[in-house]
Amino acid sequence: MSLRPELSQAAVPLIEEVEVVDEQGRVRSAFLPGERPLTVYLDKRELVTLMTLGGAPEALVLGYLRNQRLVESIEDIAAIQVDWETESAAVTTRGGVDRIEERTARKIVTTGCGQGTVFGSLLDEVDQIRLPDDAVLDQQTLYSIVDTIRLQQSVYKQAGSVHGCALFQGRELLMFIEDVGRHNAVDAIAGRMWLEGMDGADKVFYTTGRLTSEMVIKGAQMGIPFLLSRSGVTQMGYQMAKRVNMTLFARCTGKHFLLYTGRQRFRHSEPQAAVA
């Protein structure tokens, strides 16, 4: 049996109720999503501060380490302990991290909400990623995914100001996580996948946020061939999707979508006959 890290259970309430005054002078309640700094320490070395909703902090840290390729195997992590009093996450490895100074020396600030970062060396490793060519997504499954997200209960519907990410296998929703920035939500799902030993080859990833190069890289790191969004695509996100051979959909609302890359994996429905 593989070794699993010891994890704290430090999830915090996601929303706070406050008093506001509306345009007609009426006092009423409104909800605010949480936003908390979480500084990650890797073997007592300060690594990064993440601004997070705080709903899945251990999974967020796990996914961040995975998607940055700072830790090769989950068995290398002994423990992750989150302490909100000190706003810190202490990661302890079993044998240290090789060349940690060199691998974290160059940071790139991304376009993610709350300013995501990737370490520069990660971009040099993108061409090593191989996504499965035989994965298939059909049009009706895509519509089902979009509709499932539309009906999903969420912090966004109560308070706004957050992004959501979801993992699907076919039409089945496996995970749904919201956070202040979409890069955090995708990292948290990556962390849960890593913890459960879940492969991405037959999965579909959905995000409410725009598809930037960072989002494409993270999806590719997780081995997921399909990335969907209700928002748009940046030029670098498009180029990166072509580079890693990912199937990329944007503007997915109702029955509308735009397929940008990886067309060979998509199966259109048979066109319906015109009504006389």
Which neighbouring-strand residues pair with 28?
A: 20
Is residue 252 part of the annotated active site? The answer reads no
Amino acid 19 reads E
- Yes or no: say if 180 and 52 are a contact pair by the CB < 8 Å rule: yes
Strand partners, 173: 168
Question: What interhelical angle do 213-221 and 57-67 show, nearest 10?
Answer: 90
Q: Going by DSSP bridges, is the β-strand pair 226-229/163-169 parallel, antiparallel, or unpaired?
A: unpaired
Phi, psi of 222 (to 5 degrees): -85, -5
Kindly name the residue from 61, 77, 113, 217 that is annotated as catalytic.
113
For the chain, the C-alpha Rg in angstroms (whole number) is: 20
Question: How far is 276 from 274, CA to CA, in rounded Å?
Answer: 6
Label residues 28-37 b or e (16+ Cβ within 10 Å = b): eeebbbbeee
For residues 68 and 220, what is the distance between their CA atoms, to the nearest angstrom?
Answer: 12
Strands 204-207 and 266-267: unpaired
| Residues whose CB is less than 8 angstroms from the CB of residue 121 and which lie 6 or more positions away in sequence, other chains included | 103, 106
Give catalytic residues, as residue numbers: 113
